[in-house]
Chains A and B, each alone.
Chain A
Amino acid sequence: MARSGVTAYAQVNATTRALYASLLAPEAWRALIQAPDLDALLVQLEKTAYAPYLKIDHQLLTPRRTVYQLRWHLARGYEKLIRLTPEPASQLIKQLWQLYEVDNLKATLRGVETNASWDEVRRLLSPMPRHITLTNDDIQRMLASGSIVRAIERLRHTPYYDTLLHAFERYEAEKNLFPLEVALDLDYRRGLWQAIHNLKGLDYEQALRLVGTSIDMDNLLWAARYRVYHRLSLQEIINYTLPFGYQVQDADIRAIAEGEEIIAVVKRIYPRVEALDDIPAQTRDNVSPQRHQLALVERALQRHIIKLCYESFLGNPFHIGVPLAYLMLLEYELRDLTVVVEAKASQLPVERLTSMLTIEWW
């Protein structure tokens, strides 16, 4: 029988609070950003919760390898909270974790298409020791298969097989991974939506508030990107987006597909999202500024989600919202850390670097 409330979440909550305390403090962020180069950055990172994952020969710590090692922290966080969270809420966390498996699969398919070796691909993947259907062995066998169709054949035992096999006809006709990747993305989010709807009461509300908003953000940005980057038709945009959402309705996707400014749509759906008024409006023909505008909208939405995550730690803490919020915050932290690592490796000035971060963590 599913447990809920204090008995179910006492240990999860205590553990999450302890983990929450290990998120990078403002002083740590300041030190990381001010680090003169990658070596100095590594020294600073060794004073944080990421230290255990960096205990390898520093000569091996290229920017790519460093990011790979840092991702172990996220993997351990998921592992721990999946183990402690009661059913069916843990299924939702597992489903969230599966996003990294989908990303690994996409990276592998790209590797197959470009004839990349395992050594070239492995550090691009997220380390996923547990709660997976796609093992490193599967990935190696896919890479060794030599073609997309044979690589898909090697996924027969995974939930991705049917989706990819059906989408393969499109790949074969167009020789482009886009239909395969979109099919995987849509399928993944259907599973996520289903996992939210398997919850009840406060768990359902909290999951909808956090994960639902995140799904909304993806859906809105997809619609806008399909219009701006890919110049797809209204019908294609609708088919490549999700028919469900927390606040986003079909009419909103249709509006974006028909050319309405995404800022106006976001303002209408999420009036609490800040800084939207500071983003300059753009004309439809001007692609480059539109891309810039999209990036700013994306950041505003991400900041809104981060705010929702912080709010989850206030009030009654005995629900799925607390571990979800921690994991989402950790993901954003890792995303920005990746930016810092890349920036330090390429000697980017501090001002430029800070402008690229999601939030002013410090």
Chain B
Amino acid sequence: MFKPQAMDKIELIIPQNEVVRTTEALAASGIFHHTPAVQTIIETASRDSDIWQTWTTDLIALERRILLVMEELKMNEGAPPSVPPHIIEPRVAELDIERLEHEAETPVRELEAAKRRLTQLQKYVGQLTPIADLDVDLGTLRNLHYTFIMLGSMPVANIERLESSLEHIPFILITLRQEEHLATVMLFGLQQDAAVLNRAARSAYLNPLVTPEDYRGTPAQAIAALQAGIERTRQHIAEYEREIAHLHEMRIRHLRHLLWRVRATHALAHTIAGYDHRPHAYLVTGWVPAADRTRLEHEIGIVSEAVIIETLEPRQEDIGHIPASLKNPPLLSGFQGLVTTFGQPNYDELDPTPILALTFPLVFGLMFGDLGHGLLLLLAGLLLASRRIKALQSAAGFGVVIAFCGASAMLFGTLYGSIFGFENVLRAVWFRPLEQITDILLFAIGVGALLLSGGIIYNIINAALRQHWGYLLFNRNGVAGLLFYWSLLGMAARAFGAPLPIPGGVLAILAVICGIGLTFAEFFERLVERQHPLFKEDVGTYIALAFFELFETLISLFSNTLSYVRMGAFAVAHGALSLVVFIIAEVIGAPGSVGYWIIVILGNLFVIGFEGMIVGIQTLRLEYYELFSKFFSGGGTPYTPLSLIPKKGKISSVEGASG
């Protein structure tokens, strides 16, 4: 729980003919973290003949084709299968997809064409309606000897431009009807200018109305015929939609299965393409939790006896790249999420999740102490964690964090004697922050000093685990830093009259010794670690910089500690905000009246929502920037066991933004 799981580096030598089965077994085990070698990827990528690379490319294209058919048949891809489906050769998959495409093509294309025809017919009706009363054959209008007439639709934005372009030509342009972007217009001119008018109209995107043969006659006759045509087309659309619905019903399972087979095969091909390909064999390296190594060997042994598995000693270049598998109880998954949001822990350092799970609710409760508000948060958190709200199921882990914070707020609410903002109902077990502001602020500083010390101790343990003894002893977040901090705290406490068993002189000497250690920390660290040269730059520059370093350490310890004063300030603010709610409630109505209670309830909800959010953000800030900065930087490699079911769904979108 405190350290990532111990990992073993293993190397598998897989005969070429066993590579598929073995990779499937590795993925099925759910514990093998594959490490593709960089040079191998490049080498493989440049070898066009490599079958697996070709498979990868082909399968991306096939996936797109399947998704297109599914979209045309109005299907979604469904949930990923629980067990990886069998792999499928791209050639076989393509034959299957071609058949499905062919099956869907006719009704889908016919439907699209029918919809376009419907739109076109409706457009014709729209264009003819303004001249419906005209008792002239449309054919006659088009074939006049001396007059040019063009009825059609064009973008509204182009009307002015068309008029401008015909400046030197006699014409009349009448807008018969105008919709949002399009207008139905009639262009009149002289037949002798027809060529110019036609070119001008065309370049202004005036699409002339050319009704099919069936819709000739007077405008009224054409409209009646068009209406009948619209009705027929609607019937066709309904027929095609029924046909597509039938295909949907028939093929949905098959298409989904095929889609996930293609995706699983892509994952497999992509993985194998990343293996180190030797003549007749593949060399595969990766990591497994040490406790599960034997199980993996057993499972691979069942699949193939020809595969050789060796456990390797991690090499120098592996340091920093060993995947960190965090093993925390499910109850702490929400806190682990907060840790990984900040950064992925390294393999050789302590997992900050337990310390976060302990301090996060503590800090939150201290700032948000109220028995009633805490209870509501606890209930809301438990409801979230129970996964009963479908839309918020993914936030179940966060529900546990809220529940812990709620419980802590209840505890501090009891200590402060506060329930739903009422400060006179419960007896304060400890004291009321609003009445003893100095005490709560000093207490907050004390808690801050404790947390910072905890952070530094965590860092010392991390340094010990990495065997960085120089860093452990002399770093500002190491032993020297901790003793320096404590001696300064001790001197400050004595200055304020606190009875300490250690004499002031001893504290001062300790501070001076540690201060010297911190000032020349880099020199001492290099000395202990036997690194040369002892000074990276010339001695004069180093000494000048070293004193500034000490000054910066001092300032940062001071500001880090003072930063925690906000915990006390928020505890006071929480009480004050509740007081404001009651003052407003009393202005609205006498205590006990309906208006009074409405304001009290709304005010409490506001305090929980608004102040709860602010306190949550402040807590996160204190954890991330004050505490984590002492011992945790992130940058580790997450443990991601090989899987043939892509977590991100669509494989073609998994490529990086710049890829």
Give A residues with C-beta under 8 Å from B: 53, 56-57, 59-60, 69, 72, 117-119, 127, 129, 136-137, 140-141, 144, 149-150, 153, 162-163, 166-167, 169-170, 179, 183, 187, 190, 232-236, 238-240, 243, 250
Contacts and interface: CB of A to CB of B under 8 A. Distances in A.
B321 interface: no
A80 B270 CA distance: 34
B248 interface: no
Interface stretch (B158-166, B533-541, B542-550): B158-166
B42 A59 contact: yes
B492 interface: no
A190 B153 CA distance: 20
Contacts of A167: 205
B658 A239 contact: no
Given A129-B657, A144-B68, 6 more contacts: A53-B658, A118-B61, A137-B653, A170-B202, A187-B157, A239-B204
User: Which 9 A-B pairs have CB atoms at the shortest separation, nearest pair first?
Assistant: A235-B200, A238-B165, A239-B203, A236-B203, A235-B165, A239-B204, A169-B207, A144-B68, A239-B165
12 contacts: A118-B64, A127-B658, A137-B653, A166-B181, A166-B205, A170-B205, A190-B157, A235-B166, A235-B203, A236-B200, A240-B203, A243-B161
Nearest to B653: A137
A44 to B, nearest CB: 20
A contacts with B: majority SS: helix
B200 A239 contact: yes
B199 interface: yes
Most chain-B CB neighbours within 10 Å: which of A144, A153, A190? A144
Contacts of A162: 181-182
Contacts of B202: 170, 236
A56 B45 CA distance: 12
B178 interface: no
Interface string B622-652: 0000000000000000000000000000001
A127 B658 CA distance: 8
B658 A238 contact: no
Contacts of B57: 119
Contacts of A234: 165
Nearest to A55: B658
Interface in B39-65: 42, 45-46, 57, 61, 64-65
B381 to A, nearest CB: 34
Contacts of B158: 239
Given A235-B200, A238-B161, A243-B161, A140 B658 contact: no
A232 B154 CA distance: 20
Nearest to A165: B119
A260 B613 CA distance: 69
Contacts of B68: 141, 144
A223 B162 CA distance: 15
B658 A166 contact: no
A268 B45 CA distance: 57
Most chain-A CB neighbours within 10 Å: which of B46, B155, B204, B658? B658
B45 A57 contact: yes
Contact of B207 (A56, A57, A129, A166): A166
Contacts of B207: 166, 169-170
